[in-house]
Amino acid sequence: MQLLTHKFDVEQYQQMGKAGIFHPESRLELIQGEIIPMTPIGLKHSVTINRTASFLYSKVQSSGVISIQNSIRLPDYSEPQPDIVILKPREDFYEEKFPQAEDVLLLIEVADSSLKYDRTTKLSLYSEYGILEYWIANLERNILEIYRQPQGKSYLKRTLIDSATIPFAPIAFPEMSMTLRDIYG
């Protein structure tokens, strides 16, 4: 027996949300037409997002819009909710439309139980849509995985930051010097 599956597009996904099909407290995202439940956010995950976002807010200011756990739209079948995204600045703060791949300056996922998923499914998705820079804050090892130069469903360049004293910076903000202390304390 062959199972029948249905691939949802972003408009159907949004309509289901508006119609109240999902529980209001549900943590879901649309990935390649599938509605995927997201794992609960643990304390270390939450603190890492807060610490990183605080640092980024202080540095980016009006040079970008920092979006925390909000959707980006990757037509036509994906609407992930990354942990942190720095978007190109817009006066309307994206009131007229969901941000899309071309709006993303830096995308960060904080990963503990989702590490494998973020390294495979999410990495492939972000690269396929041309997200120029993707970081994974790896909570298992307190390191940072930096992915650059998207090509197809992968990135050509992968850098691991595993020392608290090695400075690094996002491509879009080369003057922003960071260390792992700015992420993990």
Residue 111 has a pLDDT of: 96
62 burial (CB, 10 Å; 0-12 / 13-18 / 19+) is exposed
The pTM of this model reads: 0.94
The owner of tokens 């390191």 is 143
| Statement: residue 2 has pLDDT above 90 | no
Residue 6 has a pLDDT of: 83
- For 45-94, the pLDDT digits (tens) are 999 999 999 999 999 999 999 999 999 999 899 999 999 999 999 999 99
Distance CA 11, CA 20 (A): 14
- For 26-54, the pLDDT digits (tens) are 899 999 999 999 988 999 999 999 999 99
Name the CATH topology of 39-184: tt1808, chain A (3.90.1570)
Q: Where are the domains of the chain?
A: 39-184
How high does pLDDT run on average in the chain?
95
Residue 89 has a pLDDT of: 97
